[in-house]
Amino acid sequence: MSQLWIKDGLFVTMNEQAEVIQGHMVVEDGVIVYLDKQTPPATLLHSNVEKVNGHHLVFMPGLINTHGHTPMSLLRGYSDDQNLQVWLEQKMWPMEAKYTEQDTHNGAAISQVEMLLSGTTTFVDMYDRMEIVAALTEQTGMRGVLTRGVIGLCSPAEQKQKLDDAIQFAVTWNGKADGRITTMLAPHAPYTCPPDYIAQFVEAAVKYQLPLHTHMSESRAEVEQNIKQYGTRPVEHLDALGFFSVPSLLAHAVHLTDEEIALLAAKDVAISHNVISNLKLASGVARLPELLQAGVRVSLGTDGPASNNNLNLFEEIRLAALLHKGTTYDPTVIPATEALKLGTYYGARSLRMEDSIGSLQVGKQADFIALNIDQPHYYPLTDITSHLVYTANGHDVQHVWVAGKQLVKDRQCLTLDVEKIKYEAQASFERLIEN
Amino acid sequence: MSQLWIKDGLFVTMNEQAEVIQGHMVVEDGVIVYLDKQTPPATLLHSNVEKVNGHHLVFMPGLINTHGHTPMSLLRGYSDDQNLQVWLEQKMWPMEAKYTEQDTHNGAAISQVEMLLSGTTTFVDMYDRMEIVAALTEQTGMRGVLTRGVIGLCSPAEQKQKLDDAIQFAVTWNGKADGRITTMLAPHAPYTCPPDYIAQFVEAAVKYQLPLHTHMSESRAEVEQNIKQYGTRPVEHLDALGFFSVPSLLAHAVHLTDEEIALLAAKDVAISHNVISNLKLASGVARLPELLQAGVRVSLGTDGPASNNNLNLFEEIRLAALLHKGTTYDPTVIPATEALKLGTYYGARSLRMEDSIGSLQVGKQADFIALNIDQPHYYPLTDITSHLVYTANGHDVQHVWVAGKQLVKDRQCLTLDVEKIKYEAQASFERLIEN
């Protein structure tokens, strides 16, 4: 039975009261068993307990990235400053069509390294060849919510094959890697999947008891096209297809009416707010304050590394706190504690995993990170929650644990060969542009 | 005669064509004397030339932060998520009133450490007790454009004393530290300085041939108050006082009409766009694309560390590229090269120093930084300019030189005692909140 004792650290718990505790945490077999300002009682501690000196470190829940496409890191910086459809259809898709299995692996690997080194412990990933991402996740020790994203603009036979593949992947991998891997079903978007095809995903989600994930209302053009093609806005469209009758997670949801927000709240739909990607692709600014006000399960995602262009969730947290103040002229919206919750506890809520991750609390999985706060930008130490939102940086992450297992120690990845992964990512990109 | 040879590096020059050169740079007595893809000729090199291996590093001009208040780092995180007037008048000013000389020094020192470690080589600073900041700047080796900020809501006698002090400081320090320190005159803002007092600053600026700096049109309330009080918007108000008859730099300028933009362009006025501060204080989003389109000398500033809350100019660069795409729905505005210019060459233009700094070019001052790009978030290396804007981070800065003198080596400050500075910043803050 393995036991870990974090001694004398500063713990930003992100529990309901967002308590900050100067004290001690004990982890046993991957689960938090003690967290208090007092030294743990001797009776709790084993003789072989591993000790970590918490001095100059702040401990917080690992970050939760609720939307992304990790293999796309190979295309980071390949095509910037374009509009969404040009970028996607003329730049991304042709390059992605050339991806080999090795490329998928190489892109996913460099992304997992980057996420770990910037404090993300749980990530949602939507792509194809997901068995490669799943096998990698099993090996790296991250917590992954994985789904094959399916574009349905093809023949019925091909549609069926893709849906079968998506179900096969989801059923095979759900709960694997000691429960670190869970799965979803994901029709790519209402504009890339015909209604009857989306209905088949809903049916399969019910049958296999899997959540649904999709892109929705990312751009104004897409909403207008939905109205033109189907006579309804995307929320009503998906609702009519039964999409919200199962636990579902929508990426983006930038363009929403008051009525749509009310419906999403009533149906308990989760949303991944992709702050930076929405700005970079000029999609717009999502209505985050209203979504939170309505009680929607909203959280943060980086989107793919080609539309961001990094996977540093601390930047999404900071920008979620900053952006909406500026665009609403209200400096009190999304205060620091709320922004930090968006990247941690609310992420867990979006994934319906709030009982097991998202905060440092006894009984929860020991998914946590330690930041080195003995750096100039943290001085003076006035308010640690403010500092984690308004001055911290993913590069301050010193150690990372998932389910009690240390994955990063002193900024070195313990489960990944980073030199090899960097070399292979570069080689993949060079091969992709040559062909 | 000291000589430095950067061998086999990647140089992002930010010259007019924004050339990127894989090659060599030679610096002699603080000035760039050679930059080319070819190895420098043997005749150029001295026997005692210092060599730096450029492998895995990217070299670029040092960043230029055109608006800030460095001693305010002591109040970083002390009061977030408030509106501008409450934050300023109820939180900042009472604490600042308690500042001792030692506090001013301690705040400025931790700020200079933070700026250097995130790649800023030139900074504008507006505060009081500026002789302390100037002496510090002389010692640290940074390039500073310094000015005593004067609030004129006081008796005529006090006004005169403050103006005399400001002139005295500016005249004494202008050109000091081998020209690294230059100075300006700075009435704080139209809403904190009566018109006749601003006119006295203009008169002094003409007499002593000094540029002017002020805050202007940061919030909507301030613009409305100006109209109510003086019958004009701030641009017309300052223009009528002759403010734009001398080289002037305006911080913020968030709320501008088309006519105001045209006037600022015609009068060749410079603007410091404070992206993050304007969001955090809910001031709004400046019209950056229009300002650039009109040919205004616009650049980037962090503002004080209490309204940001860091001094990492790479974040302003990235956000300048991202924000305006999202709010204008145009993904082509502020492309990566333009964003990087805002933090470098355009910064120099805002300070009328574009002949000596802001780009890597033969004949210019050797103010440059080296970033370690052998990190996961830079892979694959598709487009270095894109990476410097959309994925880079101030913490990637490995080395910093100003006027050819190395100030940071392997992330260690060579001219500052960082441990002492951190300790003293913390001690200052604790003293300030106790009293």
> What whole-number distance in Å separates Cα of residue A343 and Cα of residue A326?
20
The dihedrals phi and psi of B288, each to the nearest 5 degrees, come to -60, -45
User: Which of A81, A223, A312, A340 is best to mutate for the B interface (most B CBs within 10 A)?
Assistant: A81
pLDDT of residue A275: 98
Q: How far is B288 from chain A (nearest CA, A)?
A: 15
Q: Is the pLDDT of residue B1 over 80?
A: no
Domain boundaries, position B370: 3-61+361-413
Contacts of A77 in chain B (CB under 8 A): 382-383, 386-387, 390-391
Predicted local confidence at residue B108, as pLDDT = 98
List, for residues B122-138, the tens digit of each pLDDT value.
999 999 999 999 999 99
* Chain segment A94-143, per-residue pLDDT in tens: 999 999 999 999 999 999 999 999 999 999 999 999 999 999 999 999 99
Among residues B295, B316, B350, which one ends one of the domains?
Answer: B350
Average pLDDT, chain B: 97
Min Cα separation A2/chain B (Å): 31
The reply to whether B427 falls in a domain is no
A154 in the same domain as A54: no
Q: Is B280 on the interface with A (CB under 8 A)?
A: yes
- Is the domain of A253 the same as that of A312? yes
In a domain, A376, yes or no: yes
> Is residue A356 situated within a structural domain?
no
A322 to B276: CB separation less than 8 angstroms, yes or no: yes
pLDDT at A269: 98
**Would you call A329 and B284 a contact, using CB atoms and an 8 Å cutoff?**
yes
pLDDT band at B87 (very low <50, low <70, confident <90, very high): confident
pLDDT digits (tens, 9 = 90+) for B94-131: 999 999 999 999 999 999 999 999 999 999 999 999 99
pLDDT at A356 over 90: yes
- Report the distance separating Cα B313 and Cα A308, nearest Å: 18
B310 lies within 8 A of chain A by CB: yes
Q: State how far residue B300 is from chain A, nearest Cα, in angstroms.
A: 17
Q: B369 and B327 in one domain? A: no
* Inside any domain, residue B420: no
Residue A146: pLDDT over 90:
yes
Note whether A53 and A188 are same-domain residues. no
**Boundary residue ending a domain (B323, B350, B377):** B350
Residue A146 inside a domain? The answer is yes
Do A345 and A369 share a domain, yes or no? no
Q: Which chain B positions have a beta carbon within 8 Å of A430's beta carbon?
A: 380
| B40 pLDDT tier (thresholds 50, 70, 90) | very high
A155 and A206 in a common domain: yes
Tell me if chain B has a CB within 8 Å of the CB of A75.
Answer: yes
- Provide the shortest C-alpha distance from residue A309 to chain B (in Å): 5
Please, what's the b/e burial string for B63-97 (b: 16 or more CB within 10 A of its CB; e: otherwise)? bbbbbbbbbbbbbbbbbbbbbbeebbeebbeebbe
Tell me: pLDDT of B435 over 90.
no
Whether B114 contacts chain A with CB within 8 A: yes
Handedness of CA B323, B326, B328, B333 (dihedral sign): positive
Annotated binding site of A for Zn(2+): 67, 69, 215, 303
Say yes or no to pLDDT of B85 above 80: no
Nearest CA in chain A to B286: A326
Among residues B306, B322, B350, the one where a domain terminates is: B350
CATH number at residue A131: 3.20.20.140
Which chain B residue shows the shortest CA-CA distance from A330?
B282
Q: By the 8 A CB rule, do A216 and A190 touch?
A: yes
pLDDT at B132: 98
Measured between CA atoms, the residue of chain A closest to residue B308 is: A390
Q: Is A417 on the interface with B (CB under 8 A)?
A: no
User: What residues of B are in contact with residue A421 (Cβ under 8 Å)?
Assistant: 376
Let me know whether A45 and A146 are in one domain: no
Strand, helix or coil for residue A32:
strand
Query: How far apart are the C-alpha atoms of B247 and B267, rounded to whole Å?
Result: 9
Residue A184 pLDDT class (50, 70, 90 cuts): very high
- Determine whether the interchain pair B380/A418 forms a contact, defined as Cβ–Cβ distance below 8 Å: no
**pLDDT on residue B222:** 95
User: Has residue A151 got a pLDDT over 90?
Assistant: yes
pLDDT at A83: 76
Taking alpha carbons only, the member of B297, B208, B289, B294 closest to residue B248 is: B297
B88 in A contact zone (CB under 8 Å)? no
> Can you give the CATH number for the domain in which B15 is found?
2.30.40.10
Q: Give the Cα separation of A44 and A3 in Å (integer).
A: 10
B-contacting residues of A 156-195, CB under 8 Å?
Answer: none
Indicate the annotated binding residues of B.
67, 69, 96, 148, 188, 215, 218, 303
| Number of independent structural domains in chain B | 2
The predicted-structure confidence for B369-394, as pLDDT tens digits, reads as follows 999 999 999 999 999 999 999 999 99
Residue B228 within a domain:
yes
Residue A155 sits at the chain B interface (C-beta within 8 Å):
no
Same domain, A243 and A308: yes
Residue B203: what pLDDT? 98
A113 chain-B contacts, CB cut-off 8 A: 376
Give B42's contacts (C-beta < 8 A, 6+ positions apart).
none
Instruction: State how far the Cα of B47 lies from the Cα of A14, in Å rounded to an integer.
Output: 60
Residues A135 and A187 in one domain: yes
Residue carrying structure tokens 């100059």: A56
Pair (A147, A26) in one structural domain: no
Residue A255 is assigned to a structural domain of this protein: yes
CB nearest to A329's CB, from B282, B383, B418: B282
Q: Is residue A419 part of a domain?
A: no
For residue B342, give both structure tokens: 């805002």
Give the pairing type, strands A248-252 and B397-402: unpaired
> Do you find a cis peptide bond into B380, omega within 30 degrees of 0?
yes
Let me know whether A56 and A69 are in one domain: no
Q: Are residues A258 and A344 in the same domain?
A: yes
What pLDDT band is residue B365 in, cutting at 50, 70 and 90?
very high
